[in-house]
Amino acid sequence: MLPILYATAFCIFFLIVLILFVSFSVIIDIKKNKDLIVKRVTVKWMGLSYTIKKKEKEGKKEKGTKKRKDQKETEDKEKKSGKKSSIWNISDILGIIRTLKKPFLRLLDGLLRVFKIQKVSTDITFGFPDPSDTGIVCGFLYATNALLHQKCKICSYSINPQFMDTVFDFHFIAEVRLRIFSLFLPVVGFVSNRKVLSVAWTIIRRQYISKPSINI
């Protein structure tokens, strides 16, 4: 019985190590063709892949009942938190922003270093009512493409001008790699920062710890 438990524990530990330290590849694919927009996100890891796909029509509006429901829920939350939010003024909010500015920028910089961009490419099909406008934009994009590829080797785009039709379609693909373990370092550094802890304690004290009432 014990060897089976040890083997199971070792397999779980080994799997956790793989998840933390082996890179994930995230591919974002967005394609617009006429009025149809197809969004696809694919996550790849050690030969495994999982894809989330969504199709929608351009300019499609959400149902009014859902909007009204969300609006009502937001108003109810604001009413419930109205008394608590009144203890904050503009000077307090600006003070929190000034205090968290450097830790937040350090967190953002650390997160950006975690995401390794492998490829960014776009195929653009466009055409304006006036063919001369299409030609001007086409020349500008051709000139910019060479400069962009020189500055960013992983970035590229191709254009397909349409001088007889008014159209705008595109196909955007971006691939990013990251390690889960690498996300912990900037997040832990941000959470354990003294300024962040001070602001968090101030918010908790003002929002949830009521001052004791004195009865005379």
pLDDT tens digits for range 32-57: 888 888 999 999 988 888 999 998 88
pLDDT tens, the chain, 216 aa long: 677 888 888 889 888 888 888 888 999 999 988 888 899 999 998 888 899 999 888 665 544 445 555 665 666 655 555 444 456 678 778 888 888 888 888 888 888 888 888 888 889 898 888 888 888 888 888 888 878 777 778 888 888 988 888 888 999 999 999 888 888 888 888 888 888 888 888 888 877 765 554 444
Answer yes or no: pTM beyond 0.85.
no
The answer to whether 176 and 118 have CB atoms below 8 angstroms apart is yes
Closest CA to 122 of 89, 144, 97: 144
| pLDDT of 41 | 93
How far apart are alpha carbons 171 and 155 in whole angstroms? Answer: 14
Specify whether the backbone of 214 is left (phi greater than 0), alpha (psi in -120 to 50) or beta. beta
Residue 50 is inside which H or E element, if any?
strand 48-57
